[in-house]
DNA sequence: AAGTGGTCTAGACCACTAC
DNA sequence: TAGTGGTCTAGACCACTTA
């Protein structure tokens, strides 16, 4: 049977209103399964053959959907072991979201110190970045990051209360791993994509103290919005970086 | 015949010393064909069926090789028309290498003015960036870029004499399209990948004049190395950007 | 040895383009 | 209408991991 509409007998694909390529629909269905928590970070997905029959498609089609999600950094594959939901561990993937290195090319994992923490009504800018309604609450906190013992960066983070219900200062101080890994573990919030905009700014009095520089010192300012499944914004962050000894690694297009 | 080694009768694949997946070998063979100038920028490649039989592989395998190169931005596909060697035209692809936009999100194509031009012995830094031997010559030139009528950026470009034999100031001033498109048209140098490192710097006297800012003004400094096929470095560039009204668009990981 | 993903085949039909 | 890339199938065998 070479019929393209073979999936009408599929168990999981929305047969009605199907649009676009099959593998795209499969990907969306898997994204929804992930968003609903069917598979959590670090979990192994069912084998490809099982998924293929569940969605009523050939294994090649199922693989194309997974290929996409692997390219997006949502899943990881390990030959002989299985396919897993990507976790924000301190592995090579870490540098997908942490793009600073020493100017001699040396990479390192940062150490953290929580500077501030509060729960407030979202500012207009925060509502805009996080697509929130009026009067919605957010958590705001800031972090000091050091590399090789040098203070390098201050993060100012805003996350919606609705997704991080009950977040406490103690939790943030005690988190064992990366921030995004903490979001996954404690709140099932999975960051799978970010947008960043960079410009030069000057340290205010507070940042000058934190970064141990003179007020007005020129810093690299990175505005980031982080997204979860289906482009849902889950974090807004402004990083202010002292680039005296460290540099930001831009996109490398191509191979 | 389901035999994996079916390609022994292939006409173009190096049968001896074959390594790694077949589609990878096909990709390398096509990369070499591109580097040797068999297909030039804008050209249509032969149909997939023809290429598949030329390399002695199934069409699916050939497609996987092309998929990779399309993802790398080396080729573009147009359904119903063919597969083409990517050109650096002023299309959406342009913003793959030009990552500035106004802070309100407005994108625009820059206008250019050539500031300096000379041919000199490569500095140590240039030899390092471009993997040149001692005493090799390079062209150095700088460009002033404006967006929406605002002076925004000064590029300092270094390219090896060996690849750009006979480059003249007049050619650079007269070039009708983008710099990378000019490299393709006039010298068959194809930029297919870049690496960038960003940090904050301060304008020297010369750059302050060019950018119409005070000396010492804090600018965003972007160090870029551009590569052609097989990771061959072909251009080294330092851009100094006034980010008062414009911002650099960072990588957006994920979908 | 059994199970997983990785690669590859040899087709089919579909959507789009150019003539 | 002919030719292109886009999608999909239904398998096969390989490489690797785990037990």
Nucleotide nearest to A58 in CA–C1' terms: D9
Residues 6+ apart with CB under 8 A from B24: B65
The more confidently predicted of residues A8 and B25 is: B25
The CATH number corresponding to A92-248 among 3.40.30.10, 3.40.1410.10, 3.20.20.370, 3.40.50.300 equals 3.40.1410.10
Beta-sheet pairing, A137-147 with A150-160: antiparallel
Per the listing, tokens 């292939």 go with B10
- Minimum-distance CB partner of B220 among A195, A199, A246: A199
Which pLDDT does position A255 carry in this prediction? 56
10 Å Cβ neighbour count for B205? 9
d(CA B69, C1' D4) / Å: 18
- B170 min Cα distance to partner chain A (Å): 30
CATH 1.10.10.10 fits A4-85, yes or no: yes
- A253 min Cα distance to partner chain B (Å): 5
Q: What SS3 class is residue A169?
A: helix
Residues B62, B72: Cα–Cα separation, whole Å:
16
Give B44's DSSP letter.
Answer: B
Mutate to test the interface with A, among B215, B247, B250, B252 (most CBs of A within 10 A): B250
The per-residue pLDDT of chain A, averaged, comes to 91
**Res A116 pLDDT > 90:** yes
Of the candidates A214, A226, A202, which has an alpha carbon nearest to the alpha carbon of residue B255? A226
Which pLDDT does position B176 carry in this prediction? 87
Residues B12, A55: Cα–Cα separation, whole Å:
39
Backbone angles phi, psi at A12, to 5 degrees: -125, -20
Of the candidates A176, A188, A149, which has an alpha carbon nearest to the alpha carbon of residue A41? A188
- C18: residue with closest CA to C1': B81
Mutate to test the interface with B, among A195, A230, A244, A254 (most CBs of B within 10 A): A254
Q: Per residue in A73-88, is it b (16+ CB within 10 Å) or e — as a string? A: bbbbeeeeeebbbbbb
* Nearest-by-CA chain B residue for A249: B197
Angle at A245 between CA A219 and CA B199, to 5 degrees: 45
Sheet arrangement for strand B111-121: A100-102, A246-249, B193-202, B218-228, B232-241, B150-160, B137-147, B111-121
Q: Region A42-46: what's the mean pLDDT?
A: 92
Which pLDDT does position B252 carry in this prediction? 82
B159 - beta bridge partners? B139
Which pLDDT does position B3 carry in this prediction? 36
Instruction: Name the residue ranges covered by the structural domains of chain B.
Output: 4-85, 92-248
Strand D, nucleotides < 7 Å from a protein CB: these are 3-18
Q: What SS3 class is residue B124?
A: helix
Q: Region B14-30: what's the mean pLDDT?
A: 78
N-term to C-term CA, chain B: 39
Contact A229, A188 (CB under 8 A): no
Q: What SS3 class is residue A112?
A: strand
Q: Does B28 touch chain A (CB under 8 A)?
A: no
Which pLDDT does position B8 carry in this prediction? 35
Q: Among A12-16, A54-58, B180-184, B242-246, whose mean pLDDT is lowest?
A: A12-16
d(CA B179, C1' C3) / Å: 53
Confidence of residue B255 (pLDDT cuts 50, 70, 90): low
10 Å Cβ neighbour count for B207? 20
Which pLDDT does position A18 carry in this prediction? 56
pTM > 0.85: yes
Backbone angles phi, psi at A28, to 5 degrees: -60, -40
**Res A103 pLDDT > 60:** yes
- pLDDT per residue over B105-138, tens digit each? 999 999 999 999 999 999 999 999 999 999 999 9
- pLDDT per residue over A180-230, tens digit each? 999 999 999 999 999 999 999 999 999 999 999 999 999 999 999 999 998
* Nearest-by-CA chain B residue for A75: B254
Which pLDDT does position B55 carry in this prediction? 93
- Minimum-distance CB partner of B97 among A200, A249, A253: A253
- pLDDT per residue over A140-165, tens digit each? 999 999 999 999 999 999 999 999 99
Residues B240, A145: Cα–Cα separation, whole Å:
27
Of the candidates A183, A195, A102, which has an alpha carbon nearest to the alpha carbon of residue A146? A102
Q: Region A171-184: what's the mean pLDDT?
A: 93
Give chain A's length: 255
**Res B60 pLDDT > 60:** yes
- Give the residue ranges of DSSP H helices in chain A: 22-35, 48-55, 59-71, 124-130, 169-174, 179-187, 205-211
């Amino acid at each position: 049977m070479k019929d393209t509409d073979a999936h009408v007998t599929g168990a999981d694909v929305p047969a009605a209103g199907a649009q676009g390529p099959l593998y795209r629909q499969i990907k969306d269905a898997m994204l929804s399964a992930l968003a609903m928590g069917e598979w959590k970070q670090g979990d192994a997905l069912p084998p490809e053959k099982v998924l293929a029959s569940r969605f009523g498609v050939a294994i090649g089609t199922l693989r194309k959907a997974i290929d996409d999600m692997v390219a997006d950094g949502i899943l990881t594959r390990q030959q002989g072991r299985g396919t897993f939901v990507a976790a924000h561990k301190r592995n090579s993937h870490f540098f997908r979201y942490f793009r600073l290195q020493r100017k001699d090319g040396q990479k390192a994992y940062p150490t953290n110190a929580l500077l501030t923490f509060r729960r407030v009504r979202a500012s207009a800018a925060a509502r805009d970045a996080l697509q929130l309604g009026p009067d919605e609450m957010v958590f705001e906190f800031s972090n000091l990051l050091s590399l090789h013992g040098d203070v390098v960066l201050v993060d100012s983070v805003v996350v919606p209360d609705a997704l991080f219900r009950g977040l406490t200062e103690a939790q943030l101080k005690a988190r064992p791993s990366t921030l995004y890994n903490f979001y996954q573990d404690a709140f099932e919030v999975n960051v799978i994509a970010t947008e960043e905009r960079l410009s030069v700014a000057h340290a205010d009095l507070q940042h000058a103290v934190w970064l141990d520089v003179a007020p007005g010192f020129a810093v690299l300012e990175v505005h980031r919005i982080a997204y979860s499944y289906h482009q849902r914004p889950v974090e807004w962050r402004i990083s202010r970086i002292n680039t005296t000894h460290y540099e930001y690694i831009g996109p490398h297009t191509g191979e």
